[in-house]
Amino acid sequence: MAFPDLNLLHTLDVLLSEGSVARAARKLRLSSSAMSRALARLRSVTGDQLLVRAGRGLVPTPRAMEMREKVRLLVEDAHVLLRPTDRLDLLALKRTFTLRTSDGLTETFGPSLIRRVRQEAPGVQLRFVRKLDKDSQGLRDGTVDLETGVVDASIGPEIRTQALFADHYIGAVRIDHPLARAAVTSADYASWSHVIAWRQGLDLGQVDEFLRDVGLSRVIMTTVDGFSAALALARGSDLIATVPDRHTGGLRDGMHTFPIPLPVREFTISLLWHPRLDGDPAHRWLRETVGDACRPAADEKWRLRTA
């Protein structure tokens, strides 16, 4: 039995990502004729046209679209497997890492992370950018090194993940709010106006669905694009902000918090990264450092809050 030429996987990956013989040839530093011959070989091996003419360009066939992510993952795994292992010298490391996180996580866990990085790798710089949607294109194109978020079906199949901590939604009001005087019932919760942080794809814990199940509804007076803004508005008004508990621990100083009197479920905050960085010793150290910075602080605050 003849084995296929595995070099064709890399060629196929570039062809499917570029969608053009000419662009793929330039990226692989081949002539257009050599790339055309490679495409012909791929068509013969797969039994599919892969890219077909549509006007002045090429479009992928259904088989090619089905193969694209699988091929990309195979190529990235091969790069990780064949990358030489270097001994990491943290004191000599000079690098800037970009972390894309929701507001709240940076404020809550960022200080301990920065202290650890400064102590172990003083030449490393951290760049935090806000996560306003669930699109992980930055991980794929290399502009983002790490993300945090809830893993769901919108995350690409090639993205690597590692659980950080479990969280759940709570209510937050100003310290002298009437709801700060006693245990909050579902009727109490629904009787006041609310501010929520909302963006496309954000799971709000099905709060409104649970309220409908008990014959109640809440008035959402305003929406904002982040938990920090929601808490700022609640701190200066009578509004209730519904926010993740552990995630926003660094944002709620001077506020009263209470359990939402509904069966809201927990969710898991995870680290996300691209597989091409799996074997990178510096990136592996960063992942471990972020995990260490998040978990102990989260567990300690959780124990204090539930004691």
29: left (phi over 0), alpha (psi -120 to 50) or beta: left
pLDDT, position 199 = 72
Q: For tokens 């004691």, what's the residue?
A: 307
CB crowding 210-219: b at 16 or more within 10 Å, else e: bbeeeeeebe
pLDDT, position 306 = 40
Strands (E), 175-281: 194-197, 220-224, 240-244, 255-259, 267-273
Ranges of the chain with pLDDT below 50: 297-307
CA–CA dist 147, 103 (Å, integer): 12
Element (H, E) at 101: strand 95-101
Element (H, E) at 187: helix 186-191
pLDDT, position 2 = 60
Strands (E), 102-177: 124-130, 146-149, 160-167, 169-174
Among residues 19, 141, 138, which one has the least CA distance to residue 149? 138
CA–CA dist 197, 216 (Å, integer): 21
Domains and CATH numbers, the chain: 7-82 (1.10.10.10), 90-167+268-306 (3.40.190.10), 169-265 (3.40.190.10)
79: left (phi over 0), alpha (psi -120 to 50) or beta: alpha
Q: If you write DSSP's letter for every residue of 236-254 in order, what string do you get?
A: TSSPEEEEETGGGTTT-TT
pLDDT, position 3 = 65
pLDDT, position 119 = 95
pLDDT, position 303 = 42
